[in-house]
Amino acid sequence: MPRLTTASRKEKVTDVFKMKHTIGSELDPNITATMPLFTKRRKEKVSDIYDLKHTIGTGAFSEVVVAEDKKSGEYRAIKCIEKKKIKGKEDTLENEIAILKQIDHPNIVALLDIFEDKMHVYLVIELVSGGELFDRIVTKGNYTEKDASEIMKQILEATTYIHGKGIVHRDLKPENLLFYSPDEDSKIMISDFGLSKIEGQEGMSTACGTPGYVAPEVLKQLNYGKEIDIWSIGVITYILLCGYPPFYDENDSKLFQQIMRGDYEFDSPYWDDISDSAKDFIRHLMDVDPNSRYTCEESIAHPWISGNAALTKNIHQVVSENIKKNFAKTKWKQAFNATAVVRHMRKLGLGDVKARLQKKEEENSRSEESNSQEGSSDS
């Protein structure tokens, strides 16, 4: 599979692609690039190289279109980003592209090429067609701990790779985990590096991501590092084994407090048939203290991942039913960007979360002492 190279293509985008339909009202395939967003860009038009087919996804700033390479006949996905919608946020896109250009791993969706015209930036990426992680599990006839373990091993290996380059994904969640193809033995792929950062880069204390999957230190607005990805992987593993999230509350304030305390359980009867090894693995990844939380390497070395501890009993019925029940809730799937999370937390009175948690713990401690004294006096 070809990857993005520094060599420049000589064709025009219109030489390779035929425009099938308009991506936004202002797109013109014959526009020449002016005021480039990037210093290194293709001189060709995207329609020279690719035959754009149909839209497969839309977002706040872009559309994703299936495209066929006019020469090779290979299919790609092209993310068409409207410049006017990212005005003032160009640094974020440049950051994402800079990170993707460093990455070459079989379990990460690759950036293959970049085009730019007056109105749009076009990111040509691998087309993955196997669907989202949860959708695949629901449609499977048989699903075991071992299946979950094999999925998580691939995710951990890809995460080990990016962590080795100092990259923190910052938004690992099931929606960003896609199967490469519909094949039964398809590999899993990590996508969407829009919130990724280089460890130590400015902004590594900014709250971001999707609330149900973020680590406690993110919500506490502390400086953080690659450990936050490990926490997210722990949350995903938890869901893969029972079909519901470890943290949930209709009240966002209570949800955030649960996460910051690491307040989750392995509820009966849903976890009765799950191995102790799987639970031990999750505990090490979902450790509230990032300093004692497992690294990627330690996670991969765990018997549930690399040994024979993962059970082969079919857990499909319980897990798939719970996924269908719990993840139809758009509230859980809602993604918060960095600014929105901080604003939302402050709105809920969680601005100084460290002080609030400490106060809450002191109140709980006093309450326990009071109850203990009352119990002593009653006796």
Q: Assess whether pLDDT exceeds 80 at residue 102.
A: yes
Q: Give Cβ neighbours of residue 102 (< 8 Å, ≥ 6 apart).
A: 165, 167
Residue 192 inside a domain? The answer is: yes
Residue 372 inside a domain? The answer is: no
Residue given tokens 């392995």 in the structure block: 266
Q: What distances in angstroms separate CA 331 from CA 178, 229, 262, 334, 336, one per listed residue?
A: 21, 22, 20, 5, 11
Please report, in angstroms and rounded to a whole number, the separation of the first and last CA atoms in the chain: 75
Residue 378 inside a domain? The answer is: no
Regarding whether 82 and 216 lie in a shared domain, the answer is no
| Cβ pair 260, 220 in contact under 8 A | yes
Nearest to 175 by CA among 154, 189, 158: 189
Residue 366 inside a domain? The answer is: no
Q: What is the mean pLDDT of the chain?
A: 80
Number of compact structural domains in the chain: 2
Regarding whether 105 and 46 lie in a shared domain, the answer is yes
pTM, two decimals, is: 0.77
Residue 8 inside a domain? The answer is: no
**Residue that wins the pLDDT comparison between 49 and 346:** 49
Regarding whether 137 and 122 lie in a shared domain, the answer is no
Regarding whether 159 and 144 lie in a shared domain, the answer is yes
C-beta contacts of 293-298 below 8 A and 24+ residues apart? 293/227, 293/230, 293/231, 294/230, 295/230, 296/156, 296/159, 296/160, 296/163, 296/230, 297/160
Regarding whether 312 and 225 lie in a shared domain, the answer is yes
Residue 375 inside a domain? The answer is: no
Regarding whether 19 and 101 lie in a shared domain, the answer is yes
- The rounded distance, in Å, linking the Cα atoms of 32 and 45 is 8
Catalytic residue, candidates 113, 117, 171, 192 = 171
Regarding whether 216 and 78 lie in a shared domain, the answer is no
Q: What distances in angstroms separate CA 220 from CA 69, 130, 215, 223, 359, one per listed residue?
A: 46, 36, 9, 9, 14
Regarding whether 193 and 121 lie in a shared domain, the answer is no
Q: Output the pLDDT for position 92.
A: 85
Q: Give the residue from 76, 97, 126 where a domain finishes.
A: 126
Residue 131's region, left for phi above 0, alpha for psi from -120 to 50, else beta, is left
32-45 tens-digit pLDDT: 233 345 545 567 89
Q: Output the pLDDT for position 200.
A: 74
* CATH number, residue 18: 3.30.200.20
- The rounded distance, in Å, linking the Cα atoms of 52 and 192 is 21
Regarding whether 326 and 224 lie in a shared domain, the answer is yes
Q: Give the residue from 72, 94, 126 where a domain finishes.
A: 126
Residue 379 inside a domain? The answer is: no
Q: Output the pLDDT for position 15.
A: 40
**Residue that wins the pLDDT comparison between 161 and 379:** 161
Question: CA torsion 288→331→153→294, rounded to 10°?
Answer: -10
- The rounded distance, in Å, linking the Cα atoms of 48 and 34 is 18
- The rounded distance, in Å, linking the Cα atoms of 97 and 108 is 14
Q: How confident is the model at residue 369 (pLDDT cuts 50, 70, 90)?
A: low
Regarding whether 266 and 169 lie in a shared domain, the answer is yes
Highest mean pLDDT among 89-98, 119-128, 208-217: 119-128
Radius of gyration, alpha carbons of the chain: 23
HSE, side-chain direction, 13 A CA sphere, residue 251: 7
| Residues that constitute the known binding site for ATP | 79
Q: Assess whether pLDDT exceeds 90 at residue 304.
A: yes
Regarding whether 96 and 237 lie in a shared domain, the answer is no
Q: Output the pLDDT for position 30.
A: 32
Q: Give the residue from 126, 144, 174 where a domain finishes.
A: 126
The neighbouring-strand residues paired with 62 are 81
Regarding whether 199 and 104 lie in a shared domain, the answer is no
Determine the average pLDDT of the residues in 303-326.
95
Provide the domain limits for residue 207: 133-357
Determine the average pLDDT of the residues in 97-112.
95
Q: Is 276 a catalytic residue?
A: no
* CATH number, residue 230: 1.10.510.10
Residue 7 inside a domain? The answer is: no
183-233 tens-digit pLDDT: 999 999 999 898 899 887 665 666 676 778 999 999 888 889 999 999 999
